[in-house]
Amino acid sequence: MKGVRGLLGWEATLLALVALALLGGGLLSPDFLTGQNLSFLTANFSEVALMVLSMTLLVVVAEIDLSVASMLGLCSAVLGVLFAAGVPMPLAILAAFVTGALAGLFNGLLVTRLGLPSLAVTIGTLALYRGLAYVLLGDRAIAEFPAAYTNFGFGTLPGTLIPIPIALFAVLAALFAVVLHATPFGRSLYAIGANAVAARFAGLQVERVKLRLFVLSGLMSALAGVVYTFRFASARGDNATGFELSVIAAVLLGGVSIFGGRGSVVGAVLAVFLIGLINGALTIVDVSNEILTIVTGLLLIGSVLVPNLLGRFQSFRQRRRRRGDAAVP
Amino acid sequence: MSPSTPLPTPAAPPNVLTRLLRAREFGLVALLALVLFGTAALNPLFLSPGSVRDLLLNVSIIALLVVGQTVVLLMKHVDLSVSSVVGLSAFLTGSLFVANPGLPIPVALLFGLGLGALLGAVNGLLVASGQVPALVATLGTLYVFRGVTYAVVDGRQINASNLPPGFLNFGTGSLLGVPNLVLLVLAVMLVFGVYLGTYRGGREYYALGSNREAAVLAGIDVTRRTLSGFVLSGAIAGVAGVLYLARFGTVDATAGTGLELQVIAAAVVGGVSIGGGVGTLFGAGVGALLLGVMGSALVTLRAPGFYQQAIQGALLLAAISIDILVARRTARRLQMGRKR
């Protein structure tokens, strides 16, 4: 596992790949590196990016939440239904956040109190929450939102080309990075992920920490749901279906170990940008969606496979060298 | 391959009835009977031959996929790519029929089997030789295989009118009143159920999932066994793709999308543990049937379609919660027995 990852750091590799994607996109099309295009492109992955932050923390403690996209859909549905029923918008948004927190709490309670595997629990709630979103909205779409709010969704910061959701994401990403990498709470997450039993003996409240992370995951999905609803000016039961796979792909590509205890917010954020930029670069030169899907999958596999193979090659060479030394009289 | 020697039985084996009542599958079968007869009592049409036939046809493809998924889950791995394998296999088989309208059905099935085995081997090599965690590897190939399908399909579609009638009849036809697909799936389940339960090779999947180190010490070739499990899962998904085509006739690039979660859900409801080493094909099959019956019961009882997904999710949660509670109670009872 040392290999390239130990020498360069996976984040540095990702950063180089992001630069390469920017450069490659610029070479492919002169329109790629325009502010307008990059602004549009980054806005396009703001929901996935938001959910990646909380997913990173969950995977660091060796849990997973497959229900994030369904929670997004449910919160979006709650927001839409309440607003359509005449509830003032701030209250409807608040209700969406309460819904997200409760959905996350339910996931967390099943995992921490009953001791169920989070993969199984969140496959169940993936169906349950999406189902509840359909129960609320059926196949209706609620689209009549006040301009003040939809401007938040697809507007940019005044005087710049930075999309408001991405500005929001940047602030939150910095916050998450500080919490994970520079606070005792953050360090305790690595301890829990590396060895939950040892962490418990060391006096960490493993269950309580995990419960909070699941609630956080619900809250971030709610935020992503609010952003999604306003960005597309549409609350539908099937909003963001399938996004969970993109979120998990970004987290794993970002170098966060699926077995817990390893990974960084910076890596995950870089991975989101990498996927988004490649996506945008290929789209602008009319490379079809299918190639992009293949590239995403290969990146995901390669991010784990390549360092593994390099590591094995290095240890093979070391062993041969050692054997060679021993053979010399 | 020879049947393994039976495990030493405990000193005082509980009688057959007690063992039957304690079995994980008993609760499931009881629940299944409750839903079946409860719904039939409210609406007798539910158990009419036509609707039972539809129900079985709908369940059969999931039930087939559950076989491969169970093998992989037993090894403490997971195969998320099955839905993409189904899609690719369904479309390529369809294209094959378009090019050769006279293609015999067994050849089509063999083609799906071979294609699926090849795709499964990719997963298996990544996991067994590349040391890529199965969740990452098969999430990656879920994208890659689907991307390949989109590229191959290129916006086209296979319609029932492109397919020979013989093949479509095979998908919807029946033998002695039992649909062909159901017979085929039952045969596969029976063969693999016996193999997993009694043959050395089958037991090795359990051994790998319950204690890897012990399995290595016992001389099990982990790489080969892991590889074979994924090849099996892929091959079965390939066959399922051919059956998907025969059943529905219309296939585009999105065929089978999202099946992976239904399949894992069915296996987990049926008592196959995500933690590896625990579960039976019988249970997994009953799990698939239960989810299918719940779905069609809701339709029969005229529950709005929008409630179905929510109820299926709730059922899955209930099933795994009850399972873990029962397992814990059993463990406590065993511990108490040892102390005495």
Residue B176's contacts (CB-CB under 8 Å, 6 or more residues apart) are none
Across the range B278-288, mean pLDDT stands at 90
Interface probe, candidates A301, A303, A316, chain B, greatest B C-beta count within 10 A: A301
Task: Say if residue A3's pLDDT is above 50.
Answer: no
**B299/chain A closest Cα distance in angstroms:** 15
How many residues comprise chain A?
Answer: 329
The average pLDDT across B140-153 equals 90
| Element housing B179 (H / E) | strand B178-179
Which of A65, A106, A123, A262 to mutate: most B Cβ within 10 Å?
Answer: A123
Q: What are phi and psi of B10, to 5 degrees?
A: -60, 160
Which of A58-67, A165-174, B290-299, B329-338 is least confident? B329-338
Q: How high is the pLDDT of residue A4? A: 45
**How many of the other CB atoms lie within 10 Å of CB of B27?**
18
Task: State how far the Cα of B3 lies from the Cα of B197, in Å rounded to an integer.
Answer: 9
What gap in Å lies between CA A223 and CA A93, rounded to an integer?
9
Q: What percent of chain A has pLDDT over 70?
A: 96
CA distance A316 to B98: 50
Residue A300 backbone dihedrals phi, psi, to 5 degrees:
-60, -50
- Residue A7 pLDDT: 45
Give contacts of A 95-114 with B, CB under 8 A. Answer: 110, 114
∠ CA B264-B268-B270, rounded to 5°: 120
A120 near B268, Cβ under 8 Å?
Answer: yes
A12-38: pLDDT as tens digits: 889 999 998 888 888 888 888 888 888
Q: How many CB pairs under 8 A join A and B?
A: 143
The mean pLDDT value for B179-186 works out to 90
Q: At what angle do helices B281-300 and B180-198 cross, to 10 degrees?
A: 150
Look-up of token digits 């099935």: B109
- Quick one: average pLDDT of A86-110? 96
Q: How far is A121 from chain B, CA to nearest CA, in Å?
A: 6
pLDDT digits (tens, 9 = 90+) for B216-254: 898 889 999 999 999 999 999 999 999 999 988 888 888
For tokens 């938040």, the residue is: A152
Residue to mutate among A135, A293, A299, A316, with most B CBs inside 10 A, is A293
Q: Which residue does chain B place closest to A298, by CA atoms?
A: B140
Contact between B119 and B85 under an 8 Å Cβ cutoff? The reply is: yes
DSSP 8-state symbol, B174: E
Provide the pLDDT for residue A147.
Answer: 85
Tracing tokens 């649909």 back to the chain, one arrives at: B179
Cα–Cα distance list, B218 to B208, B211, B214 (Å): 10, 10, 6
Q: Is B331 on the interface with A (CB under 8 A)?
A: no
Residue-wise pLDDT for A314-327, tens only, equals: 888 888 777 766 55
- On whether any CB of chain B is under 8 Å from the CB of A125, the answer is yes
**Domains of chain A from N-terminus onward:** 2-312 (1.10.3470)
Query: Can you give the residue ranges of every domain in chain B?
Result: 51-256
Binned at pLDDT 50, 70 and 90, residue B5 comes out as low
* A8 pLDDT more than 70: no
Helices B134-153 and A289-327, packing angle to 10 deg: 140
- Mean pLDDT, rounded, for B200-227: 89
* Mean pLDDT, chain A, integer: 88
pLDDT tens digits for range B106-146:
999 999 999 999 999 999 999 999 989 998 899 899 989 99
Q: Which residues of B touch A298 (CB under 8 A)?
A: 140, 144
Of A138, A288, A297, the CB nearest to B140: A297
What confidence score (pLDDT) does residue B3 get?
A: 52
Nearest to A84 by CA among A145, A134, A155, A151: A145
Q: How far is A131 from chain B (nearest CA, A)?
A: 4
Q: Is the dihedral of CA A300, A302, A303, A304 positive or negative?
A: positive
DSSP string, A78-129: HHHHHHHTT--HHHHHHHHHHHHHHHHHHHHHHHHTS---HHHHHHHHHHHH
Q: Judge: A293–B325 Cβ closer than 8 Å, yes or no.
A: no
For the question of whether the overall pTM of this predicted structure is more than 0.90, the answer is no
Retrieve residue B183's tokens.
């017979």
Question: What single string gives the DSSP state of each residue in A204-248?
Answer: --HHHHHHHHHHHHHHHHHHHHHHHHHHTT-EETTTTTTHHHHHH
